[in-house]
Amino acid sequence: MTSSDSQPDAFLTAVSVLDSLIRSGMREVVLAPGSRSAPLAYALAAASEAGVVEVHVRIDERTAGFTALGMAKASGRPVGVVTTSGTAVGELMPAVMEANHSEVPLAILSADRPPRLRGTGANQTTWQQGLYGVHVRASADLVSYPEPEPGDQTVAFTECLAALTGRDSAAWDRPSNRPLGPVQINVAFDVPLTPEPRMRDTLRAWADSVTDLSRPVAPRRADRTVTEALDDSEHEEAATAAEASSAAASVVPGAEAVRTVVVAGDGAGPLARMFAEAADLPLLAEPSSGARSGPNAVGAYQLLLEGEMGDQIERVVLFGRPTLSRSVDHLLHRDDVESVIYLPRPVAWALPDRRPETPVETLVEARRFAGRPPRSWLERWHAEDARADSDLQRALTAARDRNGRLNGPLVARAVREAMADDGLALVCGSSNLIRDLDLVPIDPQTAHDPMVWSNRGLAGIDGTVATASGIALARREPLRLLLGDLTLLHDAGSLLFGPGETVPDLQIIVFNDSGGGIFSTLEHGNIAKADGWAGAVERFFGTPHDADVERLVTAHGHRYMQADDEDALRAALATPIRGISVIEVRGTREGLAEERAEWKNIVARDSHPGSR
């Protein structure tokens, strides 16, 4: 049995690990309390006192994980999560999985018992090293760190630092070929776990020594063809040449008249909008794409894809990850539509050879593939978009009047109007409401829309309140969160903040239809219509509840408002956002599936795109 005398001092280990992370750009840490992680906690206390890092304490590890996820999403920098040993480490799995698929640099600092206790049945001791498997970019089991001479532990820890910063571990100044993502740094601590007086002074001296560090800028892979691809002059010459001579169409790149659209999925970024505008193409952009604005964006595209405009598409240029609409998924898998996906670097959410699109690494390749659109292509999309939105608005208003309650799309429109008025960003839950937001009309005169985030990595409702809290804390400005009742209840514990903790300025809008409305719009809604199955579908999928949102909110010490109509909702949205406030809008799931089917039918019935 190994003696604890061979184990480095727990505080030397804690400081060595934190020092490297801080020098790699970590400025925020979320800590869930525990005894085995005490060396990290004391070191972080000293660093926090010196202003080196900002530390947030959360009782629940799942809340801690998603809070850190939100911070890292907003900042793009590594954010740490500290837990004690045992089941606490497992509580972080959902946040780690989301971070993996959404490429978020989350640093899991899991405290562990010393190796001599593993496999002995010792209290709160399990095999937690490597727990997250394929969902982390790298992992290190630091059982005796720092090493007298760099060895396997040092190599593994360096791999973790590289994965968090996008660096090549073998050549620190070169960008990595793998996407950013989470890592697990499992750190074994032996007793003593509390600092003696001399060690307390040492911790403060160390914290003072890293106060003036400059924030490192990690290298990034760059597509050097972006400027060329967005340069209109070269492509205008090609189009002019094509019109002057039909023979030119066979020799001038991009000269053919092709009905191409740009699809911008989650995380596409503003480059997708710039590309669509440069190529004069319709832009079909999801709310969390970062590209849903400008003169080329089409608001009701998911409905238009079901009609004749969708049928006429010949090519698609895809940016980011599309996850919201079955109509987009159908488009990308159509045999008569060619598509490319712009992948200047590897991504975590898919293997290129498993996607229907052809990957292209440079933007100029995508531009040449897109070709030249027919003269009226974009104008026709805008005309049909305006008609579809007018029809949809009438249908939404009729549904409101019929039910005597607001529906999700009307709530989403009110929230979007508030964002346009005050410029505040939004986090949206991953269920019906993000799809409702995807139907909101787009003002072509708006230069840049406020940012919209959503956990689309795995599109779960886990940790949505915590994610929004983390984003608001990282940005240090007010933020809105739009979500459903089940999403709120699933993460109700994230409404809890201890005395002295920084509470984000967060306005939460809850559309409460007393259950999971999205399931009635899927195939399960058809099963519910079969004899004898309605009760089972309602219980197992609808998951009805009688939770009192007002009591839940006020029990956590936050402000509550109820909005029963559009005027009340607009007034509530306009209230100053200080601390956490919750606006509840009560809706209904009755007739939801039929209403959404009717919205699609209205658009299809009234669509008149003209001749091909």
Question: pLDDT tens digits, residue range 499-516?
Answer: 999 999 999 999 999 887
| pLDDT score for 3 | 38
In whole numbers, what is the pLDDT of the chain averaged over residues? 91
- Residues 390-400 have a mean pLDDT of 92
Does residue 242 surpass a pLDDT of 50?
A: no
| pLDDT score for 234 | 54
The tens digit of pLDDT for each residue in 372-383 reads 999 999 999 999
Of 43-52, 213-222, 255-264, 474-483, which gets the smallest average pLDDT? 213-222
- Residues 56-82 have a mean pLDDT of 97
Does residue 522 surpass a pLDDT of 70?
A: no
> How is residue 289 annotated by DSSP?
G
- Using pLDDT thresholds of 50, 70 and 90, give the confidence band for residue 112: very high
Does residue 560 surpass a pLDDT of 60?
A: yes
Query: How far is it, in rounded angstroms, from Cα 585 to Cα 358?
Result: 44
| pLDDT score for 254 | 44
Q: What is the largest CA-CA distance in the chain?
A: 86
CB 486 within 8 Å of CB 460: no
Does residue 214 surpass a pLDDT of 90?
A: no
| pLDDT score for 532 | 79
Q: Which residues contact 427 (CB under 8 A, 6 or more apart)?
A: 70, 452, 453, 454, 464, 467, 468, 471, 479, 480, 481, 482
| pLDDT score for 530 | 75
The tens digit of pLDDT for each residue in 282-340 reads 999 999 999 999 999 999 999 999 999 999 999 999 999 999 989 999 999 999 999 99
| pLDDT score for 568 | 98
| pLDDT score for 249 | 38
> Token pair of 338, please?
């060619």
CA 455 vs CA 66, 79, 95, 487, 598: distances in Å:
10, 17, 10, 12, 29
What DSSP element (H or E) covers 187?
strand 183-188
Percent of the chain with pLDDT over 70: 92
State the sign of the Cα–Cα–Cα–Cα dihedral 494, 499, 505, 511.
positive
- Using pLDDT thresholds of 50, 70 and 90, give the confidence band for residue 541: confident
More confident residue, 515 or 112: 112
- Residues 467-487 have a mean pLDDT of 97
- Using pLDDT thresholds of 50, 70 and 90, give the confidence band for residue 216: confident
The 3 state secondary structure assigned to 6-27 is HCCCHHHHHHHHHHHHHHCCCC
Alpha helical stretches, state H, 425-503: 432-437, 464-475, 485-490
- Using pLDDT thresholds of 50, 70 and 90, give the confidence band for residue 609: very low
Does residue 244 surpass a pLDDT of 50?
A: no
Does residue 6 surpass a pLDDT of 90?
A: no
CB 22 within 8 Å of CB 14: no
- Residues 218-244 have a mean pLDDT of 71
What is the β-pairing status of strands 260-264 and 315-319? parallel
Does residue 235 surpass a pLDDT of 90?
A: no
